[in-house]
Amino acid sequence: MIETAAVAIVIAIALTLIRALLGPTLYDRVLAVNSLGTKVVIFIGFLGFVLGRPDWLDIAVLYALINFVSTIAILKFFRYRSFQVPLHRRPVPKVTAGQGGDDV
């Protein structure tokens, strides 16, 4: 039972990894990294249960937070081509943003 669950999670990780490897556009890869982070959260929760250490759930929640923030950071980077653009004069790129692919 435990082995089945562990292997299932690892297979899910492998599937998102395949998407990250193939993923033709930028957003496929960002989404793959994000959902892989979610799989890691699940995996840590699962492992905490199996090894009898429920306090690992706190760590799993912290991973979810990091995952969220880093995804936002990556997407913001591709929207504005920079980190920390001042709020009052953000230039909106005309054509380049949102096209995906690797033309950065």
Binding site for another protein (CB under 8 A): 1-3, 6-7, 10, 13-14, 17, 20-21, 23, 26, 29-30, 32-33, 36-37, 40, 43-44, 47, 49-53, 56, 59, 62-63, 66-67, 69-70, 73-74, 77, 81-86, 91, 102, 104
Contacts of 12 (CB under 8 A, 6+ apart): 39
Would you say 81 or 98 has its CB closer to another protein? Answer: 81
37: tokens are 């982070």
Nearest to residue 23, comparing CAs of 100, 81, 83, 104?
100
CB of 81 to another protein, least distance (A): 5
Give the three-state DSSP class for 53: coil
